[in-house]
Amino acid sequence: MSENAPVPIDENLLHATVKLNTLLFAGVCGLMAGLALLCATYLSLYRGLPNPGHYLNLLGVFLPGYSVSTGGAWAGFLWGALLGAISGAVIYRIYARSIRAQVADYFAGNRSEDALEFAVVKLHGHSLGLALGGIAALGLLITTNWLVIRGTADESVHAALFAHYLPGYAVSFPGSILGAVDVFVITYLLCFLLGLIYNGVVALRQNGAST
């Protein structure tokens, strides 16, 4: 087998590891999203404001059963966990496409076997951007069109505020498509930045440790 031949990968092993990590990532995302919504609701409840959860209550339009109340906080936890887990699974599935590239990088880099034992995750900004950007764009598309379908598009003054940041966005079907494109681009760029900074700090720390 020549040195330049493509790296042979055991497809069953790759499939099994991606499946396992999808489950784990979905679990972590679900827990984080559920806890975030639970904490935000309790914070809003006990902040002692005259009208607690004035804005957070609007989430009840999309998450049936949710409200800024003790019971609603736990409904929010369940919704957050469910949506977080689904998003996490989709994100990891898309991100996992970069594993082949990472394996190829390993062989191209001619690294020592020790590198395998102490491997640190390298973030693939492009894959992460595609995954998170896709989820964010889909989320905006679904939520906006839900407002259109239920006939409250004209009253959705808060959703319309997104137009400040997303050129062309409006609470309408064409507006949601333009907004989704904007959200995709912004999320992709932020993920790319995240990957650059993360990989840069990892490289700095590894260089610092080796000298």
For other proteins, the binding residues (CB under 8 A) are 1, 7-10, 13-14, 17-18, 20-21, 24-25, 27-28, 31-32, 43, 47, 49, 55, 99, 102-103, 106-107, 116, 119-123, 158, 161, 164-165, 190, 193-195, 197-199, 201-202, 205
Closest to other proteins by CB, 84 or 134: 84
The helix (run of H) or strand (run of E) holding residue 150 is: none
Q: Which of 73, 117, 98 is nearest to 199 (CA)?
A: 98
Tell me the closest approach of the beta carbon of residue 36 to other proteins, in angstroms: 8
Tell me the closest approach of the beta carbon of residue 5 to other proteins, in angstroms: 8
Closest to other proteins by CB, 106 or 146: 106
Buried b (16+ CB within 10 A) or exposed e, 18-33: beeebeebbeebbbeb
Tell me the closest approach of the beta carbon of residue 65 to other proteins, in angstroms: 24
Tell me the closest approach of the beta carbon of residue 82 to other proteins, in angstroms: 18
Tell me the closest approach of the beta carbon of residue 180 to other proteins, in angstroms: 18
What is the three-class DSSP state of 193? helix
Q: What is the C-alpha separation between 180 and 46, in angstroms, rounded?
A: 34
What is the three-class DSSP state of 50? coil
Closest to other proteins by CB, 115 or 142: 115
Residues with Cβ < 8 Å from 86, sequence gap 6 or more?
Answer: 26
Q: Which of 107, 119, 124, 112 is nearest to 7 (CA)?
A: 107
Residues with Cβ < 8 Å from 31, sequence gap 6 or more?
Answer: 81, 84
What is the token pair recorded at 144?
A: 């906006």
Closest to other proteins by CB, 82 or 99: 99
Tell me the closest approach of the beta carbon of residue 161 to other proteins, in angstroms: 6
Check: CB of residue 68 under 8 Å from CB of residue 37.
Answer: no
What is the token pair recorded at 100?
A: 């082949």
Closest to other proteins by CB, 5 or 151: 5
Closest to other proteins by CB, 49 or 149: 49
